């Protein structure tokens, strides 16, 4: 099952000192590094935490945080030009609402007038042919108006959705000639510009723009207040860390202090056993994650553009639209 509580690897060091009673403490700081190695062997993201930071880009590059383990996503603030476009779309949306309101009002008036004319309630010099023509024209306009409403809704959801912030996700550079790699007087200086992107090289993030700020979402190794690694408070993890440190101590030449006849092979086999247990424990999701996983896979229409929204709605259940009604998909 999922484990949410964590403990510092200091607890494992205390267990080693309590159970093995080594002659000296020269191995303690080595145990910190050994714990990090063991956690990497276990994997499954059990020893990381989510973080975010702002990076300053200068001369097409920015230094990555020292504790970065895995980059989730990179984004930049939209430019003033993009914000101006959003403002124009917002104004267009307001005009559209006003137009649709007038269209509905005019349509209702026309339908009501045609009904009164057909019943003879009101008199008019309109002939039956003219009435039929006006009715047909009104009906013919409805599909175009409805299509216009749908197109406007698509544009609004794409650019002006209330949940859409001012961050624009950066793509990973696939071009061989991003602007950041050009040298002085480069013959490719005026190569066709691609959308803003980034590369990761030598612990540096290289960008296609010279200066600016980057919003970085990443995972980092979880540590306590003294920068010691933390592990899930689970018996499988604690035993795995203990036996990994034990076998490292034996490998470094320490003789079994209690004369139990424990060999390196025995300690290594115990480590592998508990490592597998800990890995399985870390992979086992809770109910909420099961629900999110189900919603990602039980769908009629695949979603392929979630990267642009920061995967915000990745775990949401699919909604089926039938006419003017929204129906949640059943299980």
- Is the residue at 113 inside a domain? yes
- Is the residue at 238 inside a domain? no
- Is the residue at 299 inside a domain? yes
Q: What is the pLDDT of residue 328?
A: 53
Q: Could you tell me if 149 and 182 lie in one domain? A: no
User: Is pLDDT larger for residue 327 or for residue 266?
Assistant: 266
Q: For residues 208 and 194, is the Cβ–Cβ distance under 8 A?
A: yes
Boundary-marking domain end, from 107, 140, 159: 159
Q: Could you tell me if 152 and 291 lie in one domain? A: no
- Is the residue at 31 inside a domain? no
Full residue range of the structural domain in which residue 178 is found: 48-75+168-221
Q: What is the pLDDT of residue 89?
A: 66
Q: Could you tell me if 84 and 188 lie in one domain? A: no
Residues 6+ apart with CB under 8 A from 203: 63, 64
Most confident of 158-172, 173-187, 277-291: 277-291
SS3 41: helix
In this predicted model, what pLDDT tens digit does every residue of 122-174 receive, in sequence order? 555 555 555 566 566 556 666 666 666 666 665 555 554 545 456 778 888 87
User: How would you classify the pairing of strands 212-221 and 68-77?
Assistant: antiparallel
- Is the residue at 28 inside a domain? no
Could you tell me which of 249, 273, 275 has the C-alpha nearest to residue 262? Answer: 249
Q: What is the pLDDT of residue 122?
A: 56
pLDDT confidence bin for 237, thresholds 50/70/90: very high
Q: Could you tell me if 56 and 179 lie in one domain? A: yes
Boundary-marking domain end, from 221, 239, 254: 221
**How many independent structural domains does the chain possess?**
3
Q: Could you tell me if 133 and 66 lie in one domain? A: no
Q: Could you tell me if 110 and 123 lie in one domain? A: yes
Q: Could you tell me if 137 and 192 lie in one domain? A: no
Residues 6+ apart with CB under 8 A from 177: 188, 191
Q: What is the pLDDT of residue 64?
A: 92
Residues 6+ apart with CB under 8 A from 7: 230, 231, 233, 238
Task: Mark out the alpha helices in 43-167 (DSSP H runs).
Answer: 80-119, 128-159
Residues 6+ apart with CB under 8 A from 59: 210, 211
Maximum CA extent, the chain: 116
Q: Could you tell me if 182 and 291 lie in one domain? A: no
High-pLDDT (> 70) share of the chain, % = 61
Whole-number Å distance between alpha carbons of 289 and 294: 8
- pTM here is 0.59
Answer whether residue 193 shows pLDDT above 60: no
The DSSP call for residue 44 is T
User: Is pLDDT larger for residue 248 or for residue 168?
Assistant: 248
User: How would you classify the pairing of strands 167-169 and 197-201?
Assistant: unpaired
Whole-number Å distance between alpha carbons of 70 and 218: 6
Mean pLDDT of the region 97-116? 68
High-pLDDT (> 90) share of the chain, % = 10
Q: Could you tell me if 99 and 144 lie in one domain? A: yes
Answer whether residue 330 shows pLDDT above 50: no
Q: What is the pLDDT of residue 331?
A: 42
The DSSP call for residue 58 is B
User: Is pLDDT larger for residue 23 or for residue 173?
Assistant: 173
Q: What is the pLDDT of residue 303?
A: 75
Answer whether residue 118 shows pLDDT above 80: no
Q: What is the pLDDT of residue 243?
A: 94
Structure tokens at 259: 């004369």
Taking all residues of the chain, what is their mean pLDDT, rounded to a whole number?
A: 75
Q: What is the pLDDT of residue 133?
A: 60
SS3 53: strand
- Is the residue at 234 inside a domain? no
User: Is pLDDT larger for residue 295 or for residue 305?
Assistant: 295
Q: Could you tell me if 188 and 57 lie in one domain? A: yes
Q: Could you tell me if 89 and 54 lie in one domain? A: no
- Is the residue at 64 inside a domain? yes
- Is the residue at 103 inside a domain? yes
């Amino acid at each position: 099952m999922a484990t949410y509580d964590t403990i510092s690897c200091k607890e494992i060091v205390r267990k080693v000192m309590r159970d093995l009673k080594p002659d000296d403490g020269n191995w303690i700081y080595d145990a910190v590094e050994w714990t990090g190695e063991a956690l990497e062997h276990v994997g499954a993201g059990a020893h990381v935490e989510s973080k975010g930071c702002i990076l300053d880009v200068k001369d097409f590059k920015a230094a990555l945080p020292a504790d970065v383990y895995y980059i989730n996503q990179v984004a930049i603030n939209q430019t003033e030009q993009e914000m101006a476009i959003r403002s124009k779309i917002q104004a267009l949306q307001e005009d559209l609402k006003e137009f649709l309101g007038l269209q509905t009002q005019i349509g209702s008036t026309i339908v009501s007038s045609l009904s009164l004319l057909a019943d003879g309630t009101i008199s008019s010099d309109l002939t039956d042919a003219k009435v039929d023509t006006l009715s047909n024209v009104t009906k013919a306009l409805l599909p175009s108006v409805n299509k216009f409403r749908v197109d406007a809704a698509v544009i609004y959801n794409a650019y002006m959705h209330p949940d859409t912030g001012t961050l624009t996700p950066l793509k990973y550079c696939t071009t061989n000639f991003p602007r950041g790699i050009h040298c002085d007087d480069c013959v490719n200086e005026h190569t066709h510009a691609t959308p803003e992107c980034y590369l990761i090289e030598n612990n540096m993030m290289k960008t296609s723009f010279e200066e600016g700020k980057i919003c970085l979402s990443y995972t980092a190794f979880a540590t306590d207040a003294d920068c010691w690694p933390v592990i899930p408070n689970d018996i499988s993890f604690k035993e795995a860390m203990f036996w990994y440190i034990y076998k490292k101590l034996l490998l470094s030449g320490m003789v079994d202090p209690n004369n139990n006849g424990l060999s390196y092979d025995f300690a290594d086999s115990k480590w592998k056993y508990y490592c597998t247990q800990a890995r399985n424990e870390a992979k086992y999701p809770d109910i909420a994650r099961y629900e999110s996983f189900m919603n990602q896979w039980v769908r009629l229409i695949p979603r392929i553009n979630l990267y642009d929204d920061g995967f915000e709605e990745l775990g949401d259940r699919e909604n089926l639209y039938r006419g003017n009604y929204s129906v949640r998909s059943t299980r």
